[in-house]
Structure 1
């Protein structure tokens, strides 16, 4: 069932998912978590999609989970486990999406919103961005897999500080900490779309193999390493590899088709 709060737009090979609930600072209710997981899962089947951008409508990226429904959907350990399974499925769908994922962040990026951003490959923000992981002020714990994304994004010490203190930090601190790749002074959307288009023009099989290799480095899992090796080997048998060599010889821009 669609929540009605997630918009999907496509410009050539770039897909943009916009959290569209600005009156609630784009807070995610349970239906939205389910729908977002499905969106990322289905994008894998879109042959022409090459990059996914995640952003928020209005002034904010995402205030995290919608606390107003916690008395119903997260009221005790049993319901919390079910709710967190929905969250974890969403984070995993973004984390494991074979396409490059970019978070375009402005304004509030708190809690589950921070987790959404952390699960993306690349994070870019403007100067209005503000970050926090306020679990300690709510008296709840985050799922371990979501915490792993945060640790990978900022390192263990800063992850501990963020959760222990529930402190807020601005875009410049997030950039210095390595959570952000780039801080854009103006026109965030245009900047991100330009980057996404540049990535989309490159060899998609190479990018997929590279993402799998980086993932295997982070997890150390043998099956993921084997998959990365297989994807890497496949690039050398691809039409795109032949196109890349031909374009180099002919001194022209290659046209990659993902085959």
Structure 2
């Protein structure tokens, strides 16, 4: 286990890197310092070839992330330097999530509010406990949700659902979140971790270069024709076809056995 700060934990368990928001006394409210440490943990996971999948979760049973740590908002409105610093780090973290080469899963138990929704939207897949609750309470705090997060919200649940979430600041059940497409799957609370582990293991068994090519293609498909990086798409596809893993996949198929991929 890599314990980089008491409120953030990076844990390596076989092919899974667990990114744990460890602030349960505040329902895992996300502070500025936690965001900075998250960047370090993600960089460590990205460098480690043994880590094939990254899973985000909150410590304890009550929350994934209950939102930003609003105790840090005191004086924020009148401190331009502090605003700039916090906004810069938040943007860096959002960018880091977006460009991770490795697949990411949010394991959502309990409260997933505000910055928690933003964090969950930043990753590839979202699996929720039946007890999870979702919402964006910005309208009740007098703050604005960042454009990057709004754009991602609209991409995932559509403009109508996004408008309702932002305008009403209401909370939604796990079933409601599933119906609007905010999460990929809802499972019984006691089965959440096992379900996420099974999903992560399934993904980890597949070819890493193919997973990365899929991540790139999905991200670029959401862009306009003018902004799309077709050269990058072509390069990751070519890398798959010329890889050792492609040869291993063909050989394993012919031999009727499970392939062993190395990400090369």
Report the TM-score, using the length of structure 1 for normalisation.
0.95
Q: What is the aligned partner in structure 2 of residue 258 from structure 1?
A: 263
Match of 1:87 in 2: 90
> 1:152 aligned to 2:155?
yes
Q: CA deviation at 1:144?
A: 1.2
| Rounded Cα–Cα distance in structure 2 between residues aligned with 1:91 and 1:234 | 26
Q: Secondary structure at the match of 1:216?
A: helix
Mapped pair 1:227 → 2:229? no
Report deviation, 1:115: 0.3
Report the Cα distance in structure 2 between the residues aligned to 1:222 and 1:71, rounded to whole angstroms: 39
The equivalent position to 1:204 in structure 2, one of 205, 208, 214, is 208
> What SS is found at the alignment partner of 2:260?
coil
Deviation string 1:166-221 (CA, Å, 9 cap, x unpaired) is 01101000000111111011320111011101100100000000100000011236
Q: Does 1:244 align with 2:249?
A: yes
Q: Which residue does 1:76 correspond to in 2?
A: 78
Equivalent residue of 1:54, what SS? Answer: strand
Runs of 5+ unmatched residues, structure 2: none
Q: Secondary structure at the match of 1:252?
A: coil
Are the structure 2 counterparts of residues 35 and 112 from structure 1 closer, same or farther at C-alpha, using a change threshold of 3 Å? same
Could you report, residue by residue, the CA deviation over 1:126-163 in whole angstroms, capped at 9, with x for unpaired residues?
11100011111111112211222222221222111111
Paired with 1:148 and 1:95, the residues of 2 have a C-alpha distance of 13
CA contact (8 A) 2:221 2:228 kept: no
Give the number of equivalent residue pairs. Answer: 258
DSSP 3-state at the match of 2:259:
coil
Verify the 8 A CA contact 1:88 1:146 in the aligned structure 2.
no
Structure 1 stretches of 5 or more lacking a match?
none
